[in-house]
Amino acid sequence: MKQQKDWYIGTDYYVDYKEKRIQAEELDLTEPLERQLHEQAVVESLVHTAVQEQRRPRFGSQNMVSYLTMQLHILHCRYALERLKDPAPSGTEEPEIWQLIQQIILTTAKPFTLQAAARERGVSAGYLNKQIKLASGYTFFQLQKFGKILNACALLHFPELSMEYISGLLHFSNLQDFYRVFRRYMHKSPQEYRKQDIFRPVERAPDCGSALLFLQYMHLNFSKKITPATLAQEFHMKEYTVCRIFDQVYQMTFAEMLEQVRVQYACAYLTGSDVKITEISERCGFESLSTFHRVFRKHCFVSPGAYRKNQM
Percent of the chain with pLDDT over 90: 21
Domains 96-198 and 203-311 share a fold: yes
The pLDDT score that the predictor gives to residue 157 is 82
**Confidence band, pLDDT 50/70/90 cuts, at residue 77:** low
pLDDT digits (tens, 9 = 90+) for 116-175: 889 988 999 899 988 888 877 788 888 888 888 888 888 888 877 888 988 888 888 899
CA distances from 59 to 55, 203, 212 (A): 13, 27, 18
Integer Cα distance of 106 and 150 in angstroms: 9
Torsions phi, psi for 14 (to 5 deg): -105, 140
Look at phi and psi of residue 91 and say left if phi exceeds 0, alpha if psi is from -120 to 50, else beta.
left
Q: Is the pLDDT of residue 28 over 80?
A: no
Integer Cα distance of 95 and 104 in angstroms: 15
The pLDDT score that the predictor gives to residue 202 is 40
Q: Is the pLDDT of residue 290 over 90?
A: yes
Q: What is the pTM of this model?
A: 0.39
Neighbours of 137 (CB within 10 A): 9
The pLDDT score that the predictor gives to residue 136 is 76
Highest mean pLDDT among 22-36, 201-215, 222-236: 222-236
**Confidence band, pLDDT 50/70/90 cuts, at residue 82:** low
What is the average per-residue pLDDT within 6-13? Answer: 45
What value does the mean pLDDT of the chain take? 78
pLDDT digits (tens, 9 = 90+) for 262-287: 998 898 888 888 889 999 999 999 99
Q: Is the pLDDT of residue 91 over 70?
A: no
The residue type found at 291 is T
Integer Cα distance of 87 and 304 in angstroms: 27
Report domain extents, the chain. Answer: 96-198, 203-311
What is the average per-residue pLDDT within 35-43? Answer: 65
The CATH label, of 1.10.3720.10, 1.10.10.60, 3.20.20.370, 3.50.50.60, for the domain at 96-198 is 1.10.10.60
Q: Quick one: 203-311 is in which CATH superfamily?
A: Homeodomain-like (1.10.10.60)
Angle at 220 between CA 264 and CA 66, to 5 degrees: 90
The pLDDT score that the predictor gives to residue 27 is 54
Q: In terms of Cα–Cα distance, which of 278, 240, 95, 52 is closest to 270?
A: 278
Angle at 88 between CA 87 and CA 91, to 5 degrees: 135
Q: Is the pLDDT of residue 11 over 50?
A: no
The pLDDT score that the predictor gives to residue 110 is 67
The pLDDT score that the predictor gives to residue 279 is 94
Integer Cα distance of 211 and 247 in angstroms: 10
What is the average per-residue pLDDT within 163-188? Answer: 88
